[in-house]
C-alpha cells in the first residue's frame, strides 16, 4: 500500500465521491480512481461501491479506512516532530476539550502554545467524550482533555488525571424553586441536560435514583450543547445539572445559580486522554505542558476570578 492510495481512500470517505475527493487532493479524478483501483487489485478486495449519490465504502473499505487514518495521522506527527528538531515545526494538531475548560483555561493555553509553536495550526473540538472518543480511536484526534469516568470500561484508552470537581443542580436567577433544599422537591419540574445516549442511566442514577428520587421521564429533556442548555434554563423554568467550575464563567454566573440542596452529587475527574500505547507527538506534548503551566500558575494566583475557579477544583497534578 502506498501513501497516495491511502490518502485517496480517506478523502473519498470524507467527501462521498471521487470527484469531490479529487478536488480536495488537487489531482484529477482519473488519478484518484486509479489509486483506488490499484489498491483494490493489490488487496484483491472491493473497497468501494457506487450508488446514485456517489460512492460508499464496503466493509473491507471501512476496516482499512480506520487503519489508513491512523497511519496518515502518525506520519503527520512524525513529520512535525522532525520539523521541530530542525526548528521548522509546522503542521496540524487536533484535540478535544471539555466545555468548561474551553471557557476558562483554553484561551491562555492557546496563547502560550502559539508563542512556542507559531507554525502549528490548531483544531479544537469542544464537547463530551462521546464526541472525542471515536476521533481518538480512528487517529483523527491526538488527545482529549476530558472525563476519566467516560473511559470506563474502555481499556483502549489511558488517562493522566488533572483535577476533580463536583456537579451541581442549577436554575436561572429568580427561579420559583430557588430555595429548594432537596432533589425530592424538584421532581415535578422540567429539566434540560446535556449528555450522550450511553450516559443516560449513569446520569439518572447520580442525579435522582441514588437519592431514592423517581422522576417521570417526560420531565427530562436534552440539549446537545452547553449554549443551548444555558438558553433553555435562562428563558424557561427548566432546571439543569452542571459542573461547578462552569458556574464561574461570567456568561453562566450571570444567568444561573447553584441550588443549595442537601444531597451530594457526583465528583468527576478531568484528565489527558490518549489511546493506549500511543505516544504524544511533539506538538501535543507542548500543548499539554502549556496547559499544566497555566493551571499551576493560576492555581497560585490571587486574582478573584482565579480564586473562584480553583475553589471548585481539587488539583491532581
Taking only the tens place, the pLDDT of each residue in 103-128 is: 999 999 999 999 988 989 999 998 77
| Residue 187 sits in the same domain as residue 258 | yes
| Single residue among 40, 73, 106 that ends a domain in this structure | 73
| Residue 50 sits in the same domain as residue 189 | no
| Residue 176 sits in the same domain as residue 202 | yes
- Decide if 84 is inside a domain: no
Over the stretch 167-214, which tens digit does the pLDDT of each residue have?
A: 999 999 999 999 999 999 999 999 999 887 767 888 899 999 999 999
Q: Per-residue b/e over 102-127, b at no fewer than 16 CB within 10 Å? A: bbbbbebbbebbeeebeebeeeeebb
| Residue 129 sits in the same domain as residue 198 | no
| Residue 146 sits in the same domain as residue 280 | yes
- Structurally, the chain folds into a number of domains equal to 3
User: Residue 47: which CATH number?
Assistant: 1.10.10.10
Residue 306: pLDDT band with limits 50, 70, 90 = very high
3-state DSSP call for residue 40? helix
| Residue 211 sits in the same domain as residue 235 | yes
pLDDT in the model for residue 150: 59
| Residue 35 sits in the same domain as residue 155 | no
Over the stretch 246-265, which tens digit does the pLDDT of each residue have?
A: 999 999 999 999 999 999 99
| Residue 184 sits in the same domain as residue 221 | yes
- Stretch 224-241: mean pLDDT: 94
- Stretch 13-24: mean pLDDT: 85
Instruction: List the domain range (segments joined by +) for residue 198.
Output: 167-263
Residue appearing with cell numbers 470517505: 13
| Residue 181 sits in the same domain as residue 241 | yes
SS3 annotation, 231-291: HHHHHCCCEEEEEHHHHHCHHHHCCEEECCCCCCCCEEEEEEEEECCCCCCHHHHHHHHHH
pTM over 0.85: no
- Decide if 175 is inside a domain: yes
| Residue 295 sits in the same domain as residue 154 | yes
| Residue 137 sits in the same domain as residue 282 | yes
User: Residue 120: which CATH number?
Assistant: 3.40.190.10
- Stretch 79-88: mean pLDDT: 61
Amino acid at each position: 500500500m502506498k501513501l497516495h492510495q491511502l490518502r485517496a481512500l480517506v478523502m473519498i470517505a470524507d467527501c462521498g465521491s471521487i470527484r469531490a475527493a479529487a478536488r480536495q487532493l488537487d489531482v484529477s479524478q482519473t488519478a484518484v480512481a486509479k489509486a483506488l483501483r490499484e489498491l483494490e487489485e493489490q488487496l484483491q478486495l472491493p473497497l468501494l461501491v457506487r450508488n446514485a449519490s456517489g460512492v460508499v465504502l464496503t466493509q473491507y473499505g471501512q476496516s482499512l479506512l480506520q487503519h489508513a487514518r491512523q497511519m496518515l495521522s502518525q506520519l503527520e506527527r512524525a513529520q512535525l516532530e522532525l520539523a521541530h528538531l530542525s526548528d521548522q515545526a509546522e503542521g496540524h494538531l487536533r484535540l478535544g476539550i471539555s466545555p468548561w475548560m474551553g471557557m476558562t483555561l483554553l484561551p491562555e493555553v492557546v496563547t502560550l502554545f502559539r508563542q512556542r509553536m507559531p507554525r502549528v495550526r490548531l483544531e479544537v473540538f469542544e464537547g463530551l467524550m462521546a464526541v472525542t472518543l471515536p476521533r481518538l480511536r480512528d487517529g483523527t484526534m491526538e488527545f482529549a482533555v476530558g472525563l476519566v469516568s467516560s473511559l470506563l470500561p474502555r481499556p483502549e484508552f489511558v488517562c493522566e488525571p488533572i483535577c476533580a470537581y463536583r456537579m451541581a443542580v442549577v436554575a436561572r436567577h429568580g427561579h420559583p424553586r430557588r430555595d429548594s433544599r432537596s432533589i425530592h422537591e424538584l421532581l415535578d419540574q422540567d429539566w434540560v441536560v446535556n449528555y450522550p445516549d450511553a450516559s443516560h442511566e449513569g446520569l439518572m442514577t447520580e442525579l435522582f435514583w441514588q437519592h431514592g428520587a423517581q422522576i417521570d421521564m417526560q420531565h427530562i429533556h436534552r440539549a446537545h450543547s452547553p449554549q443551548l442548555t444555558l438558553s433553555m434554563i435562562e428563558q424557561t423554568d427548566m432546571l439543569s445539572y452542571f459542573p461547578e467550575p462552569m458556574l464561574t464563567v461570567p456568561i453562566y454566573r450571570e444567568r444561573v445559580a447553584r441550588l443549595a440542596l442537601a444531597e451530594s452529587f457526583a465528583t468527576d475527574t478531568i484528565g489527558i486522554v490518549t489511546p493506549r500505547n500511543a505516544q504524544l507527538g511533539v506538538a501535543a506534548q507542548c500543548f499539554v505542558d502549556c496547559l499544566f503551566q497555566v493551571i499551576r500558575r493560576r492555581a497560585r494566583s490571587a486574582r478573584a476570578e482565579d480564586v473562584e475557579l480553583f475553589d471548585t477544583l481539587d488539583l491532581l497534578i
